[in-house]
C-alpha cells in the first residue's frame, strides 16, 4: 500500500494537489493520503472546493498548520468541516515521513 503526504503551501497548487491525489487513488485505491496545508495555501481552507474534495475523497486526511493559520489570520472556526489542525505543518510532514509516507509536492 502506498502512503503519501502531499505538501501544499501555494494557493496556485491546490487544484494540482487535488488532481494528484485523485490520480493516486484511481491507480492505487488502497493508498493512504494526507494533505498537509501550510503557508498561504491555508487561506483556501475556507473555500467550498475543499468541502467538495473531502466529500468525494473521505479517505484523505487534510491537515492545516496552526502556525500558518495564525500568520495568515485564518480563524479555525472558519475552516471547512473535516480539516484537522496540527501545531506545525513541517513537523507533521516529518512525522508522516517517519511513518513511511512518501513526500509529494505539486
Residue-averaged pLDDT of the chain: 97
DSSP 60-85: -EEEEEHHHHHHTT--GGGSPTTPEE
- State the pLDDT at residue 75: 98
The total of other beta-carbon atoms located within 10 Å of residue 31's CB is 16
pLDDT in tens, 2-48: 999 999 999 999 999 999 999 999 999 999 999 999 999 999 999 99
**pLDDT bucket at 1, cuts 50 / 70 / 90:** confident
Instruction: Provide φ and ψ at 16, rounded to 5°.
Output: -65, -40
Q: Phi and psi at residue 102, in whole multiples of 5°? A: -95, 145
End-to-end CA distance of the chain: 21
What gap in Å lies between CA 60 and CA 72, rounded to an integer?
Answer: 24
- C-alpha closest to that of 76 among 85, 67, 88: 85
Amino acid at each position: 500500500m502506498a502512503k503519501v503526504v502531499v505538501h501544499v503551501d501555494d494557493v496556485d497548487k491546490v487544484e494540482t494537489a487535488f488532481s494528484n491525489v485523485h490520480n493516486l487513488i484511481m491507480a492505487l485505491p488502497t493508498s493512504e493520503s494526507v494533505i498537509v496545508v501550510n503557508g498561504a495555501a491555508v487561506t483556501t481552507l475556507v473555500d467550498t472546493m475543499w468541502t467538495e474534495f473531502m466529500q468525494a475523497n473521505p479517505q484523505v486526511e487534510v491537515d492545516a498548520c496552526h502556525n500558518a493559520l495564525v500568520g495568515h489570520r485564518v480563524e479555525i472556526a472558519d475552516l471547512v468541516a473535516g480539516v484537522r489542525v496540527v501545531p506545525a505543518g513541517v513537523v507533521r510532514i516529518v512525522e508522516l515521513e517517519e511513518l513511511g509516507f512518501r513526500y509529494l509536492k505539486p
